[in-house]
């Protein structure tokens, strides 16, 4: 009985108490593809992360989880016990980096932020700006897939149906949204600017959007999106606000001035954009 109690205490201590409560600093631990339970346990013990590799093996085997251990890089510390470490490995809770891609970022800016080359063509406009958690050493293909999947999720069936009902394509909407994203700031300004730009398109008037100089030289939308717009700009492109305005400009202070006539617009330019 005493021997049983001592053994039970030893097992409980080795599994449920951490290696060292005071060592909270995390270290990166790699589980390579193809490594088995016993190799993982041995490496955890070598790194000073668990009390005893045999108890780690014993715990995983009693849980029937030996086939559920997932490869990857993990953050562990000696202040974690065997159950906590095992749970992270089983769930695949690998080490991640948190990256925010702002609305209006171009593909090039995304690549620079991630220090990664993104493969594929026609990505501009379709990589949804958001805050992402990426595994360490994620590939460019995986980044594109995650951002494209997010884009597809945000473009709901209702939005797709409305776009089709208007006789427009998703490409046209995203191209317009990318202009709106770069041209103005607030939700109301985006809806008004959207109404103006769609009206200009309808009558064959050049868009004359500063964010895309080519729109001064020819009629129509730019050949492709100029950035990756956020949902607010996409919604503004789908649901423009009707108004009597035909022109707008942004002041150096960031305010948007809307005008109904060319005369009003020229006056606004002389007032707000005069050389200083």
Instruction: Give me 219's structure tokens.
Output: 């009629």
φ, ψ dihedrals at 74, nearest 5°: -125, 150
Find residue 98's DSSP bridge partners. 133
Query: Is the per-residue pLDDT at 55 higher than 50?
Result: yes
Q: Are residues 175 and 242 in the same domain?
A: yes
Domain boundary pick from 154, 176, 196:
154
Let me know: does 221 contact 175? Beta carbons within 8 Å.
yes
Q: What string of DSSP letters covers 77-130? A: -TTS-HHHHHHHHHHT---EEEEE--TT--HHHHHHHHT-PPPSSS-TT-S---
State the pTM of this model.
Answer: 0.81
Q: Which is nearest to 205 in space by CA: 192, 216, 195?
A: 216
Q: What string of DSSP letters covers 210-244? A: TT-THHHHSSSS-SS-SS---HHHHHHHHSPPP-S
Q: What is the pLDDT of residue 128?
A: 98
Domain boundary pick from 134, 154, 174:
154
Rank 2-6, 125-129, 137-141 by mean pLDDT and report only the highest: 125-129
What's 18's domain CATH number? 3.30.1490.480
Angular region, 3: left φ>0, alpha ψ -120 to 50, beta rest: alpha
Classify each residue of 178-203 as buried b or exposed e, where b means 16 or more C-beta atoms within 10 Å of its C-beta: bbbbbbbeeeebbbbbbbbbbebbee
Q: Are residues 177 and 130 in the same domain?
A: no
d(CA 215, CA 228): 18
- Length of the chain measured in residues: 276
Q: What is the pLDDT of residue 199?
A: 97
In a domain, 1, yes or no: no
Who wins on pLDDT, 13 or 166?
166
Distances (CA, A) of 259 to 57, 136, 201, 271: 73, 50, 18, 13
Number of domains in the chain: 3
Domain boundary pick from 154, 180, 200:
154
Q: Are residues 241 and 199 in the same domain?
A: yes
Q: Which is nearest to 31 in space by CA: 66, 68, 83, 73?
A: 73
In a domain, 164, yes or no: yes
Query: Is the per-residue pLDDT at 20 higher than 90?
Result: no
How do beta strands 72-76 and 256-259 pair? unpaired
Q: What is the pLDDT of residues 218-268, one digit of tens each?
A: 899 999 999 999 999 999 999 999 999 999 999 888 889 999 999 999 999
Query: Is the per-residue pLDDT at 13 higher than 80?
Result: no
In a domain, 130, yes or no: yes
Who wins on pLDDT, 154 or 21?
154
Q: What is the pLDDT of residues 220-234, one digit of tens each?
A: 999 999 999 999 999
Domain range for 20? 11-91
Q: What is the pLDDT of residue 168?
A: 97
In a domain, 237, yes or no: yes
| Dihedral, CA of residue 172, residue 175, residue 181 and residue 187, to nearest 10 | 0
Q: What is the pLDDT of residue 192?
A: 98
| Banded pLDDT at 51 (limits 50, 70, 90) | confident
In a domain, 5, yes or no: no
Q: Which helix (H) or strand (E) holds 44?
A: helix 37-46
Who wins on pLDDT, 275 or 191?
191
Query: Is the per-residue pLDDT at 118 higher than 60?
Result: yes
Q: What is the pLDDT of residue 276?
A: 46
d(CA 37, CA 57): 7
């Amino acid at each position: 009985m005493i021997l049983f109690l001592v053994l039970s205490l030893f097992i409980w201590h080795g599994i449920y108490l951490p290696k060292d409560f005071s060592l909270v600093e995390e270290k990166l631990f790699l589980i390579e593809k193809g490594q088995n339970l016993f190799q993982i346990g041995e490496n955890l013990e070598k790194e000073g992360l668990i009390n005893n590799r045999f108890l780690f093996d014993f715990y995983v085997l009693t849980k029937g989880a030996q086939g559920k251990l997932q490869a990857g890089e993990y953050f562990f510390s000696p202040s974690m016990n065997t159950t906590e470490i095992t749970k992270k490995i089983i769930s695949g809770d690998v080490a991640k980096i948190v990256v925010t891609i702002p609305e209006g970022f171009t593909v090039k800016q995304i690549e620079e932020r991630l220090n990664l080359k993104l493969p594929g063509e026609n990505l501009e406009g379709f990589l949804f700006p958001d805050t992402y958690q990426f595994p360490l050493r994620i590939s460019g293909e995986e980044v594109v897939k995650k951002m494209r999947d997010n884009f597809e999720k945000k473009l709901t069936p209702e939005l797709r149906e409305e776009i089709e009902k208007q006789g427009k394509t998703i490409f046209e909407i995203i191209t317009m949204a990318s202009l709106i994203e770069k041209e103005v700031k607030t939700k109301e300004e985006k809806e008004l600017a959207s109404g103006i730009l769609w009206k200009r398109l309808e009558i064959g008037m050049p868009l004359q959007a500063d964010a895309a100089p080519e729109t001064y030289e020819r009629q129509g939308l730019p050949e492709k999106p100029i950035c990756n717009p956020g949902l607010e700009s996409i919604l503004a492109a789908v649901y423009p606000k009707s108004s009597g305005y035909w022109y707008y400009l942004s002041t150096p202070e960031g305010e948007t001035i809307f005008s109904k006539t060319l005369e009003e617009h020229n006056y606004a330019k002389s007032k707000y954009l005069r050389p200083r």
